[in-house]
Amino acid sequence: MDENLLHEVVAAALKAGADGAEAVAAERQSLSITVRNSALEEVEREEARDLGLRVFVGKKQATVSGSDLSADARARLIERAVAMARLAPDEPYAGLADAERLARGPFRDLELFDATEPSAVELEDQAREAEGAARAVQGVSNSDGGSASWSASRWRLVTSSGFSGLHEATGFSLYATALAQDENGMEIGGEGRSQRWQAELPTPTAIGTEAGHRAVQRLGARKIASTTAPVIFENRLASSLIGPLIGAIAGPAIARGTSFLKHKLGERLFSDTINLIEDPHLPRRLGSSPYDDEGVANQRRALIDKGVLTTWLLNSSSARQLGLTTTGHASRGLAGPPGVSTSNLTLEPGDRDLAGLMADAGEGLLVTSMFGPSLNGNTGDWSVGVSGHWFEKGEIAYPVNEITVAGNLIDMYGRLVVGADLEIRGSANSPSLLIDALAIAGR
C-alpha cells in the first residue's frame, strides 16, 4: 500500500479532531494445498488488503479497521474512529510511543522476503511427496494428509509522531501426518516445518519420513501408575515450558498484579548456567522484525542472564503504568490497542545431549507430545497432558500415553537442566529440558 496514502489518513484524522493517530496497512497473499491418500483434498487461496487506524483524543482512544480502501470509505473510517474516541472512557496510559524511542531508518535488511512464489502444482507435488514418504514407512497404516503452503505479507505503519516503516516477510510450510495401527489401537504422528525461505525447508521426503517414524514409535503405548520421577521435555516442544514465563513477565500482567513472577525482577529463577536470549534482528528467522508494532526500536536482550530475570516486556502503555520505559515489545493487529510479544527466543544449550540427559536421570519420562496445558497465573501451578516414552537405565523402554505431569513453575525453573540438542524450528527454540522430579498422574 502506498505510504503517501497512510500519511494522508493520519493527516485527515488530525484534521478531524484527533490529537494523535497511527495508520497500518496490511497486505497478504497465501496459497495452501492439502492432499490425502494421494488425492487433492483442499486448495485455499487468500488475497487481502486492509487498513487499520488508531486515534487519540486526549487520553481517550479508539481503533477501527476495514478492507474498503476507496476515498469515501477511508473518510467514513476516519470519521467513525474520531467519533468513537470522543465517546470512549479515559485511559490514562494510552498514547503513541514516545518520539525519542522510535526506530530510525534506513532499517537493516533482515532477509525475510523470498521472491519465490510457488505454483499450486508445485505445492501439490510437495504435499503429495511428503505424504507418500510418510505412508512408505513400515508400520504406517494410513495418512491424515500432507500439506504445503506459501504466504507473503507486507505491513506498513505510519504515525503522527513521525514514524514510517515497512515490514515484509514470506513464509513456506510443509507438513505431513501419519497413522499407525496395531492390535492395541491407532497412533498418530506428525512433522512440520516453516521457514522464511523456501530453499531452507527440509525436503518433503524428510518431513514425511519423520512423521511416519513418529507414528510408529508410539505403537504399543502403555498407561503407567502415578508416580514422581524425572521428566525430560523433547526439544521440539520444550519451549512450551518457557511460554508461561513470557506471559508472566509481560508488562500488562505485571501492571495488573496477576503474575506469579510479579516480585521476581532481578532475582535468580534458574541455575546460573541458563540464559534466555531474544534477538529480533536475526536474518531469515520467523520471529525477526526491524522494530516493534508501535515503531519502537527493538534489540537483542538476555531476558534471563545466568539464571537472573533481567526485564519486563513492555509496550508504551504498560511502561507508563509501571513508571518505566517501553522495551520495544509492542504487538498488535489491525484492530485494538497493542499487546506484548517476543521475537526469536533461544534458550542457550548446555553440554549434555538427549542421551546424556537420559543417562543422568536414569529412569523417567521423555515427553514427546503435549496437550491441554493449565496454568494458575497467580501462583505458577502448572499441569499438562502428555505422551511419550518411559526410559530405564538411560535407554528408551516403551511408549506411554494418557499421562498428566504437574508442578509449580517457580520450583521447576529452579531445577531445570538444559540439554545440548538445540534445533531452530520456529520463533521460540529450546534444547531438551530435564527436571529431576515431577508429579506424574497415570492410571
DSSP β-bridge partners for residue 241: none
**How far, in Å, are 178, 302, 440 from residue 403 at the CA level?**
22, 34, 7
C-alpha cell at 336: 485494538
pLDDT of amino acid 2:
82
Query: What pLDDT score does 229 carry?
Result: 97
Q: For 58-119, where are the alpha helices, taking DSSP H only?
A: 71-87
Give the span between the Cα atoms of 74 and 79, in whole angstroms: 9
pLDDT < 50 stretches in the chain: none
Sheet of 428-429, strands arranged across: 308-309, 301-305, 276-278, 345-347, 428-429
The owner of cell 527436571 is: 435
| Structural contact between residues 407 and 433, judged by C-beta atoms closer than 8 angstroms | no
pLDDT at 1: 65
d(CA 415, CA 434): 8
Is residue 164 a contact partner of residue 155, using CB atoms and an 8 Å limit? no
Read off φ and ψ for residue 115, nearest 5 degrees: -70, -10
The pLDDT value recorded for residue 364 is 97
Spatial neighbors of 230 by CB under 8 A, at least 6 apart, are 361, 362, 363, 364, 365, 434, 435, 436, 437, 438
CB 359 within 8 A of CB 348: no
Cell of 329: 515489545
User: Which of 154, 152, 130 has its CA nearest to residue 143?
Assistant: 130
Using left for φ > 0, alpha for ψ between -120 and 50, and beta otherwise, residue 393 falls in: left
Cell numbers for 346: 533461544
- What pTM was estimated for this model as a whole? 0.94
User: Which residue type is seen at 353?
Assistant: D
Q: Please tell me the total number of residues recorded for the chain in this structure.
A: 443
The H or E element spanning position 316 is helix 316-322
What is the amino acid identity at position 281?
H
Q: Which helix (H) or strand (E) holds 346?
A: strand 345-347
